[in-house]
Amino acid sequence: MIYRYTILALLLIGIVIGIYVFQFYVILGYKISNKPSDWVDFSDFVGGLLGPLLSFLSFVLLLHSLKQQNKANTILIEEAKNNRKNEKFRVFETHFFNLIDVQRASFNSFKISIDYVSSCTEFNHVDGVIHIEDYIQELRNQGADDDVITQWLDELDRSEKIYNTIRIFCNIVKVISERLTNDNGFSLNDRRQQYHSLISLTEFSQLRMVLIGIQFLDCPQAQWLQNNQEFVTVLKETGLDIGLY
d(CA 242, CA 230): 13
User: b vs e for 160-193, b when ≥16 Cβ sit within 10 Å of the residue's Cβ?
Assistant: ebbbbbbbbbbebbbbbbebbeeeeebeeebbbe
DSSP assignment letter at 20: H
d(CA 138, CA 128): 15
Q: Across the chain, what does the average pLDDT equal?
A: 84
Question: Residues 104-139: pLDDT tens digits?
Answer: 999 998 888 877 666 677 888 889 899 999 989 999
pLDDT of residue 9: 65
d(CA 73, CA 173): 37
Q: What is the tally of helices (H) and strands (E) in the chain? A: 9, 2
Residues in contact with 125: Cβ distance below 8 Å, sequence separation at least 6, in sequence order: 107, 108, 110, 111, 205
Asked if residue 178 has pLDDT above 80, the reply is yes
Rounded to an integer, the average pLDDT of 230-244 is 91
Question: Residues 74-87: pLDDT tens digits?
Answer: 888 888 787 888 89
CA angle, residues 166, 224, 146, in degrees to nearest 5: 70
